[in-house]
Amino acid sequence: MSKYTLGIDYGTLSARTVLMNCEDGSVAASSTKAYPHAVMDRQLPDGTPLGAGWALEDAEDYVLALKETVRNVMRESGVPKEDVIGLSIDFTSCTVVAADEQKRALSSLTQFRPNPHAWVKLWKHHGAQAQADEINELLTRKGLIDDPRYGGAISPELLLPKVLQVLREAPEIYQAAYVFLEAGDWLTWNLTGELKRSGNMAAYKAMWTPEDGYISKDLLLELDPGLDNLIEEKLRGQICPAGGCIGHLTQEWAKELGLMPGIAIGASIIDSHAGMPGSGICRKGQMMLVLGTSSVELLLSDQPYAAHGVVGAVKGAIMPGYYSLEAGIAAIGDMYGWFADGYVPSAYEKEAAQKGQNLHQLLSEKAALLAPGESGLLALDWWNGNKTPYVNGDLSGVLIGLTLQTKPEEIYRALIEATAYGTRMIMEEFMKSGAQVDEVIVSGGIPEKNPLVLRIFTDVLNRPVKISASDQTAALGSAMYAAAAAGKEAGGYESVAEAAQALARLKEEVYLPDAAHAQTYDQLFSLYCELAGLFDPKKTRILSELKAGR
């Protein structure tokens, strides 16, 4: 009889669960639950205002999504609970929960609910940019900033800046927190009773290495004496490697979810990283590209590398036997949506309605008629800050070349092209490590919805682009990690690489670059790089000062 595993993918706005057949990788059932509170970036539910760059969520939304989606897939699939051998979670990262010793998120406690720092700091919380700047200044002064652990710059999206912000701005929350945990680790702690941490998340988001552990206490004390107990107390918990077993499902949670107690619970993993096995990437030369609200790029390498927003200093942190180079763009779908939802004339809305389309479909249809470079527009894809090469959340978007004749579809195409140029900059940074990129495998929500995006990315990257066969790549990858955590004797696999080779699928369609378009885009990409250099934050504070003045 086939055995099954559950993969739970926690994204920015919702969670989705799949029940995967360990024999062939097919999905027996899936379920999605949107978070009732969504992302809080202006105020808390009680009206408490939030500062610029804040992005918070409610931990209880994660628990609700876990219960509903797992129960749904078990009910809809008809699979006996005895045949489910494991569960694994992937999560946006670094998404930080401050919790007490009873595993309760501090935001769920009445006395702390009015305090924004008690709530979950989402991955894209940029309210800690000042703390990131301070850490960067210290590491630069110590001559450590280019160490692979730090990669040339620290982002406000990492763990330490967020925790330092809590210490500085809400010391009562810092003191009340028994631990600061990645949200994925907080959930596995609840499910198993085992306070352990994901080695994947610690490596990429907490500056941890298996050789040296976390950042040294001497540096922490120089940063702020209040961080004296950070590592021993606030970051307590054994590190568990990717594909490892954190523990086993408790009786209480087995009853809540309708599963058997004692099944394997895998170490949590960053959501985009789960897409690597989910896309079938298990060899060098394949670059993974996740296109959703934001993007993530990953590439397997024999060598560690970290610079200009690329991170990859811990071997085996995603796929056993390899270093995995990672970078990303902080806004992709969010950028396209920003324009389509707020800056398109009503005449376009009427035309889209008449054609039975949404605005994205209409804009894409019109933009597809334009040749590369025809609009005369060029944009920098920094609507939510820049990760590569500047690692700066204070940077903002740029759009040049506008005239009185500029049309909405030209702007829309320029925004798509900007994100493709940003991705190419990342790809070329990967290649500086000595790694090769032979093909690109794409997953995420956008590939299913917008072929124009894939066409432009193919031509800009000048590489063949393939598409994951599953529209739930991260959740499927999580289910593969669960199969590795359960092990072969239970009906799973010896390793996540073995599971990926056996279970992942790609679509037959392959996008191939158009040689003429690729040549034009080579020239436009050089202009993009020149434009990006003009707004290098080390040369000018134009963008950061404009943003601060808002």
Q: What is the pTM of this model?
A: 0.87
Domain contains 511: no
Structure token digits, residue 4: 């099954």
CA distance 39 to 113: 16
Domain contains 448: no
Q: For residue 330, which of 397, 424, 429, 274 has the smallest C-alpha distance?
A: 397
For the chain, what is the mean pLDDT? 95
Check if the beta carbon of residue 322 is closer than 8 Å to that of residue 315: yes
Domain contains 199: yes
- Is there a single domain that holds both residue 341 and residue 263? no
Please name the amino acid found at residue 292: G
In the DSSP assignment, the letter for residue 82 is: G
pLDDT at residue 306, rounded to an integer: 87
Q: What is the mean predicted confidence (pLDDT) over 502-524?
A: 96
Which conformational region is residue 244 in: left (phi greater than 0), alpha (psi within -120 to 50 degrees), or beta? beta
Owning domain of residue 379: 333-428+516-548
- Is there a single domain that holds both residue 95 and residue 175? yes
Which tens digits make up the pLDDT trace of 282-312?
889 999 999 988 899 999 999 989 889 898 9
Q: How many helices (H) and strands (E) does the chain have?
A: 19, 21
For the CA atoms of 131, 136, 138, 139, the dihedral, rounded to the nearest 10 degrees, stands at: 140
- Is there a single domain that holds both residue 388 and residue 532? yes
Domain contains 510: no
- Is there a single domain that holds both residue 241 and residue 338? no
- Is there a single domain that holds both residue 113 and residue 199? yes
pLDDT at residue 147, rounded to an integer: 87
pLDDT at residue 51, rounded to an integer: 93
Q: What is the mean predicted confidence (pLDDT) over 124-150?
A: 94
DSSP-derived 3-state class of residue 289: strand
CATH number of the CATH domain containing 145: 3.30.420.40
- Is there a single domain that holds both residue 262 and residue 352? no
CA distance 224 to 217: 10
- Is there a single domain that holds both residue 121 and residue 221? yes
Domain contains 164: yes
CA distance 235 to 473: 30
- Is there a single domain that holds both residue 263 and residue 396? no
- Is there a single domain that holds both residue 260 and residue 114? yes
Please name the amino acid found at residue 24: D
Check if the beta carbon of residue 266 is closer than 8 Å to that of residue 245: yes
CA distance 275 to 518: 27
Domain contains 231: yes
Domain contains 302: no
Q: What is the mean predicted confidence (pLDDT) over 160-176?
A: 98
Half-sphere exposure of 25 (CA within 13 A, CB side): 25
- Is there a single domain that holds both residue 165 and residue 263? yes
Q: What is the mean predicted confidence (pLDDT) over 113-133?
A: 96
Query: Which of 248, 270, 292 represents a domain boundary (last residue)?
Result: 270
CA distance 70 to 257: 6
The CA angle 417-423-429, to the nearest 5 degrees, is 140
Structure token digits, residue 55: 């992005």
- Is there a single domain that holds both residue 128 and residue 235? yes
Helical packing angle, 451-461 and 515-534, nearest 10°: 80
Which tens digits make up the pLDDT trace of 389-437?
998 888 999 999 999 999 999 999 999 999 999 999 999 999 998 999 9
- Is there a single domain that holds both residue 258 and residue 361? no
Query: Which of 239, 270, 301 represents a domain boundary (last residue)?
Result: 270
Query: Which of 270, 301, 321 represents a domain boundary (last residue)?
Result: 270
CA distance 239 to 197: 5
Which tens digits make up the pLDDT trace of 199-254?
999 999 999 999 999 999 999 999 999 999 999 999 999 999 999 999 999 999 99
Domain contains 19: yes
* Predicted confidence (pLDDT) at residue 14 exceeds the cutoff of 70: yes
pLDDT at residue 550, rounded to an integer: 57
Domain count, the chain: 2
Structure token digits, residue 127: 């309210």
Which tens digits make up the pLDDT trace of 22-67?
999 999 999 999 999 999 999 999 999 999 999 999 999 999 999 9
Phi, psi of 507 (to 5 degrees): -70, 155
